[in-house]
């Protein structure tokens, strides 16, 4: 510190002038001229939304944002939090875990990040991908491709693939580089290293043991390759399981190899105490935590991987094994290919995530009735307190709008028809924020530069009327078109809009022929075709011109006695009652009237069951105004009122296309009669058009069959000479037949002597030999064992059918396991 005032004892000092003039020169300083430590202090405080833009300023800033110091400062400022990232391509989700400085620690929830923009051809190579995180970037390593996902910008970029194709391999990150080992005979014993800065792979060592299905972890400069199966030495392509390969293979499943990345040396291997088969492992705070499965129990232990000096090739300096509390799963649960877990370390916690199968089903098969352990179970182990706790379950994978119809999201059929009618300014309303993010991500990837779509999330169970209330401030046009997202059709929406404007109607609804339900052929050989039974959806009343909607009964009212207003019959003379038409849930509304009804009738929840019937019932009722005061219509002579009503409605029908019919007035001295009547119109689709809603399991089956059958014009695919669709990457065994009106999609494999008739099979399914699939829908990643028979059923994603299972007219939920040799007819098989 130095005084700015003169020292009076100093003879050389001069006294201050009464009005001193002080000139201060302030040098100009920019952020770029700051040193790295000061610049990091500034950058670490910017909002998260600005990080993608900041990384583009210059290479120096981009490198600083990827440095460990930047992440450390962000964490100090409570701007980043421990987060788990999960991938089920193309969908991703993240779970923010509470930390010590987090005020909101009560209810962490999974948030669906987006539908990641992977190239379609890449999904097959990602079926056994591994994930590695370096800073804010997640590297998704597939067999033949690798991608880098920047969680700040949401951008995916392609990176160099591994030198050797692998699957089910071990991977870990050390000193900002990725290491992989194991995972197939083609890779041999090669251990590869990836440098993100140069985007290059290189082989740095040869493994002492060749493993398949192994797990990777990294602590203190050592890469751990844990568990897995032995790749046979005699036969290069043989993968032997522990039970069949003897003691040597058993050693592989319960041991780990250690590689020192600095010295490029393999250290002494370690055996897991108690043996067993390693099913999950991760590194946390200097320890390697391992979950092993035994014949009748699970065990959980940790290895002290902190090096206490020296280390060297003999592996000295490590700690010991310690048996710790096992996860709170039912006793005598054996984890196998049916139920699988993944493990990840986050700060001082081990997070165990069930990635497939259902423990409820596993226990039910052994006669035990336990509930609550579904697929997606998340368990969290606190390494400090030693306590296990339950985390939030993994989110559902596919919202209804993205359910596959001929392996395309059902919503794509709606958007395609709107685009063909040049209706490109759209609002897609989705129940639930997570589902809205998934749908929005898919739309942005599939319809980039084609449609202007705004995705709005509303609360669940608000109904269609409640959804329109929630987005009312977004509706500005005079007329709006409302289409259900589960509608599959080829009727031009523009035709409905034109009819609506022609008649100046309050509402115009599209009516289409009621669909018949059921397959057109039986699965038995030589059997006769099943008869499709028509179903009653609505009771519709139309005027003689079939342009005006005079009566509609929906829901439970369809089964009741029909009640028709006398005034309608007097007015129109005759009414045509139709039970063979269905309200397609496509409406054109006059916005002002719709918003008025929604505001006044806040109890209305459904457009189809509340708003539309109300508008139809009230279209012949008038509002009488005497000097501006509403009066009841029934006052006065009923006969006169009926005659007036008849005259008014007759004029409506006679002058339907004139804009002046909407308000008819008459009056006498001292009062004014204004009869305000609105029009409800109908647009009837031709019998040759296709229109169905995916609002039931039976409809899901019917629509899938139709789109690859009689309504194949909707699919957008090119059919083969055999009138079927088989993806080039699909594999067929010897003497396997895929009949007409069938679809076998990418990456799926079928064994020998299989038969597929009028069915849709999704992506990456594994089907054994002698399997029959008839009139069924099989979604993605389904495993079907040898000798299974499936007829008239829906099999959801990740389900497993063991050998010789027989299903007829069943629905199998996602992840459900159908036991070997079981027979089911007309059942719904799902986790409870």
Helix axes 410-420 and 433-446, enclosed angle (nearest 10): 50
Rounded Cα gap, residues 700 and 811, in angstroms: 11
Rounded Cα gap, residues 791 and 788, in angstroms: 10
Closest of 751, 754, 727, 720 to residue 738, by C-alpha:
754
Rounded Cα gap, residues 391 and 98, in angstroms: 11
> What integer pLDDT is reported at residue 361 of this predicted model?
47
Contact 138, 149 (CB under 8 A): yes
446 exposure class (CB count in 10 Å sphere: 0-12, 13-18, 19+): middle
> What integer pLDDT is reported at residue 442 of this predicted model?
84
Rounded Cα gap, residues 191 and 166, in angstroms: 11
Rounded Cα gap, residues 482 and 500, in angstroms: 13
Task: Please spell the DSSP secondary structure of 205-230, one letter per residue.
Answer: EE-SS-EES-EEEEETTEEEEE--EE
Pairing of strands 378-382, 387-391: antiparallel
| Phi, psi (deg, nearest 5) at residue 458 | -125, 165
Q: Which regions of the chain are under pLDDT 70?
A: 1-29, 88-93, 98-125, 127, 154, 232-250, 295-296, 309-317, 330-339, 356-376, 395-397, 516-537, 555-560, 565, 567-568, 570-572, 620-677, 831-832
Residues 355, 767, 797, 413, Cα dihedral to 10°: 140
Give percent above pLDDT 70 in the chain. Answer: 73
| CB contact burial 367-402 (16+ within 10 A = b; e otherwise) | eeeeeebbbbbbbbbebeeeebeebeebbbbbbbbb
> What integer pLDDT is reported at residue 789 of this predicted model?
96
Contact 706, 779 (CB under 8 A): no
Q: Angle at the Cα of 772 (from 770 to 774), degrees rounded to 5?
A: 170
350 three-state secondary structure: strand
Rounded Cα gap, residues 140 and 143, in angstroms: 10
Residues 26, 28, 34, 38, Cα dihedral to 10°: 50
Rounded Cα gap, residues 679 and 664, in angstroms: 13
> What integer pLDDT is reported at residue 4 of this predicted model?
53
The CA R_g of the chain, rounded to the nearest whole Å, is 34
Q: Using H for helix, E for strand and C for coil, what is the string for 631-682?
A: ECCCCCCHHHHHHHHHHHHHHHHHCCCCHHHHEEEEEECCEEEEEECCCEEE
> What integer pLDDT is reported at residue 218 of this predicted model?
93
Give the model confidence (pLDDT) of 772-786 as tens digits.
Answer: 999 999 998 888 999
Contact 730, 744 (CB under 8 A): yes
Contact 776, 792 (CB under 8 A): yes
> What integer pLDDT is reported at residue 233 of this predicted model?
42
Query: Which residues, 6+ apart, have CB-to-CB distance to 33 below 8 Å?
Result: none
Rounded Cα gap, residues 721 and 60, in angstroms: 58
Give the model confidence (pLDDT) of 297-356 as tens digits.
Answer: 778 999 998 887 654 444 456 888 999 988 887 554 445 545 678 889 888 899 888 776
Closest of 212, 221, 230, 287 to residue 259, by C-alpha:
221
> What integer pLDDT is reported at residue 287 of this predicted model?
92
Rounded Cα gap, residues 263 and 261, in angstroms: 6
713 HSE (CA, 13 A, CB side): 10
């Amino acid at each position: 510190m130095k005084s700015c005032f003169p020292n009076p004892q100093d003879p050389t000092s001069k006294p201050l002038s009464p009005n001193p003039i002080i000139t201060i020169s302030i040098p100009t300083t920019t952020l770029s001229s700051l040193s790295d430590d000061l610049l990091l202090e500034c950058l670490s405080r910017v909002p998260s939304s600005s990080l993608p833009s900041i990384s583009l300023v210059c290479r120096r800033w981009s490198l600083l944002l990827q440095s460990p110091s930047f992440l450390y400062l962000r964490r100090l400022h409570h701007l980043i939090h421990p987060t788990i990232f999960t991938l089920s391509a193309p969908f991703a989700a993240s779970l923010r875990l509470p930390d010590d400085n987090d005020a909101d620690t009560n209810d962490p929830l999974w948030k669906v990040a987006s539908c990641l923009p992977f190239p379609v051809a890449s999904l097959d190579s990602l079926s056994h991908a591994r994930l590695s995180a370096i800073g804010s970037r997640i590297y998704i390593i597939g067999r033949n491709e690798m991608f880098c996902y920047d969680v700040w910008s949401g951008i995916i970029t392609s990176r160099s693939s591994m030198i050797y194709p692998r699957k089910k391999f071990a991977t870990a990150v050390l000193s900002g580089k990725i290491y992989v080992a194991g995972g197939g005979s083609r890779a041999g014993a090669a251990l590869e290293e990836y440098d993100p800065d140069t985007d290059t792979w290189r082989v740095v060592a040869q493994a002492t043991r060749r493993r398949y299905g192994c797990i990777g972890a990294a602590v203190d400069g050592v890469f751990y390759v844990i568990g897995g199966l032995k790749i046979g030495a005699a036969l290069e392509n043989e993968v032997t399981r522990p039970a069949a390969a003897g003691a040597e293979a058993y050693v592989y499943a319960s041991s780990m190899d250690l590689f020192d990345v600095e010295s490029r040396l393999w250290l002494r291997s370690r055996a897991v105490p108690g043996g067993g088969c390693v099913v999950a492992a991760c590194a946390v705070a200097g320890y390697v935590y391992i979950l092993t499965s035994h014949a009748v129990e699970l065990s959980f232990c940790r290895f002290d991987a902190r090096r206490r000096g020296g280390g060297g090739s003999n592996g000295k300096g490590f700690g010991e094994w310690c048996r710790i509390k096992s996860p709170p799963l039912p006793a005598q649960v054996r984890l196998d290919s049916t139920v699988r877990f993944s493990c990840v370390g986050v700060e001082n916690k081990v997070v165990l995530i069930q990635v497939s199968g259902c423990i409820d089903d596993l226990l039910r098969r052994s006669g035990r009735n336990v509930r609550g352990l579904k697929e997606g179970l998340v368990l969290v182990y606190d390494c400090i307190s030693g306590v296990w706790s339950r985390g939030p379950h993994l989110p559902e994978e596919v919202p209804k709008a993205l359910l596959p119809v001929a392996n395309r999201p059902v919503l794509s059929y709606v958007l395609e028809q709107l685009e063909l009618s040049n209706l490109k300014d759209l609002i897609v309303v989705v129940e639930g924020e997570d589902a809205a993010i998934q749908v929005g991500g898919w739309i942005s990837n599939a319809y980039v530069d084609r449609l202007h779509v705004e995705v709005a999330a509303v609360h669940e169970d608000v109904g269609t009327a409640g959804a329109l209330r929630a987005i009312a401030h977004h509706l500005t046009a005079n007329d709006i078109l409302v289409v259900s997202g589960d509608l599959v059709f080829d009727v031009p929406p523009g035709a409905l809009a034109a009819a609506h404007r022609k008649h100046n109607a309050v509402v115009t609804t599209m009516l289409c022929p009621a669909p018949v339900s059921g397959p057109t052929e039986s699965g038995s050989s030589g059997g006769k075709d099943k008869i499709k039974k028509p179903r009653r959806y609505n009771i519709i009343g139309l005027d003689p011109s079939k342009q005006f909607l005079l009566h509609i009964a929906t829901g439970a009212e369809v089964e009741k006695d029909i009640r028709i207003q006398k005034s309608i019959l007097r007015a129109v003379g005759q009414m045509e009652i139709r039970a063979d038409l269905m309200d397609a849930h496509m409406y054109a509304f006059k916005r002002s009237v719709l918003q008025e009804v929604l505001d006044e009738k806040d109890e209305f929840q459904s457009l189809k069951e509340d708003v539309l019937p109300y508008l139809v019932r009230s279209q012949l009722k008038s509002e009488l105004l005497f000097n501006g005061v509403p009066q009841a219509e029934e006052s006065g002579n009923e006969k006169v009122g009926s005659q007036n009503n008849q005259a008014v409605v007759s004029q409506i029908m006679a002058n339907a296309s004139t804009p002046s019919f909407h308000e008819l007035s008459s009056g006498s001295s001292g009062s004014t009669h204004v009869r305000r009547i609105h029009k409800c119109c109908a647009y009837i689709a031709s019998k040759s058009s296709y229109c169905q809603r995916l609002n039931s399991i039976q409809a899901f089956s019917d629509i899938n069959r139709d789109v690859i059958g009689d309504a194949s014009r909707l699919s957008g695919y090119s059919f083969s000479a055999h009138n079927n669709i088989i993806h080039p990457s699909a594999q067929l065994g010897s003497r396997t037949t895929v009949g007409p009106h069938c679809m076998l999609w990418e990456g799926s494999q079928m064994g020998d002597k299989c038969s597929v008739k009028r069915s849709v099979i999704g992506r990456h399914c594994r089907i054994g030999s002698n399997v029959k699939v008839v009139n069924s829908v099989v979604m993605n990643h389904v495993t079907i064992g040898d000798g299974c028979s499936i007829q008239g059923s829906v099999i959801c994603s990740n389900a497993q059918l063991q050998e010789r299972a027989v299903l007829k007219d069943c629905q199998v939920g996602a992840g459900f396991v159908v036991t070997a040799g079981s027979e089911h007819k007309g059942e719904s098989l799902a986790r409870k």
